Amino acid sequence: MAAIKNNFRVAAIQTVSSTQLADNLRNAGVLIEQAATAGAQLIVLPEYFCFMGRNDRDKLPLKEMPGSGPIQEFLADQARKHGIWLVGGTLPLDNDDPGRIYNATLVYDPSGTQVARYDKIHLFGFNKGQESYDESISIRPGENSPQTFMAPFGKVGLSICYDLRFPEFFRAMGEVDLIVLPAAFTYTTGSAHWEILLRARAIENQCYVLASAQGGKHENGRRTWGHSVLIDPWGDVVDCLAEGAGFAIGDIDLQRLSDVRASLPALKHRTM
């Protein structure tokens, strides 16, 4: 059995997605290629990377059946083309509720084979002044438990955006080496809580956290916070992109992971 390398390069793609599916896929493809050229072996796209509608229900006509559709074909092709592990942000998947979709993250291995799926469980709701959001209008909460998959460097936990506020969700994954979080945090909530919550999840789970975000002003008037980031198990920021399209990139350092857990074995000290 081949030895696992100590470093594994990962990247979080940041987009400012529009209402045009073809444009969004093309722009994502360019960024994936750039990140792969920079050495990224695992790449994460943001939530809604394929489409940011003008209203909640605009995404319904784009929903795909599991296993087929242009968005899923794009993701599989990109993983295969670049020989990467690709965490496909989120895309709308069909279910038996005609008025709502699953907001789903699909994971593809370097052969283009889908190896994991997670449907967003926690649905964002926010109401303050002129700013109001209710994801439950068009999204059905996932019925699956927290999902993980095995990458070459270790175990990866899947989460989406608002999940970040629920620490018990991440504990239920068990011990993981990396948490990935595609997101579209609003400017209001992101400026207040994004980095604090991400660093907390990294510190308390003693793992890397890779968060890919929407980052800018969208056609629908919404402004997203951005700050796609890689955070290490001590809570230190490895790389961050504040705003605009691009990516944050860095290494999963298995020696760093081991050293943090050995010097402060909090995971072993848990009593409940």
User: What is the rounded distance in angstroms from the CA atom of residue 245 to the CA atom of residue 91?
Assistant: 19
Query: Hey, CA dihedral for 69, 71, 74, 79, is it positive or negative?
Result: negative
Q: State yes or no: is 120 an active-site residue.
A: yes
Task: Pick the catalytic residue from 47, 64, 195, 243.
Answer: 47
Nearest CA-CA partner of 151 in 112, 181, 115, 183? 115
Q: State yes or no: is 155 an active-site residue.
A: no
Neighbour tally for 83: CB within 10 Å: 12
Task: Pick the catalytic residue from 161, 195, 207, 243.
Answer: 161
Nearest CA-CA partner of 251 in 109, 80, 38? 38
Give the pairing of strands 114-119 and 102-108. antiparallel
Given a contact cutoff of 8 angstroms between Cβ atoms, the answer to whether 136 and 174 are in contact is no
Longest dimension (CA), the chain: 58
Task: Pick the catalytic residue from 59, 63, 64, 120.
Answer: 120
> How does DSSP assign 55-97, residue by residue?
SGGGGGGG-B-TT-SHHHHHHHHHHHHHT-EEE---EEE--S-
The two structure tokens encoding residue 77: 């092709």
User: What is the rounded distance in angstroms from the CA atom of residue 183 to the CA atom of residue 186?
Assistant: 9
Which residues are within 8 A (CB) of 168 and not within 5 positions of it... i.e. 6 or more apart?
none
Nearest CA-CA partner of 214 in 194, 244, 188? 244
Given a contact cutoff of 8 angstroms between Cβ atoms, the answer to whether 239 and 147 are in contact is no
Give the active site residues. 47, 120, 161
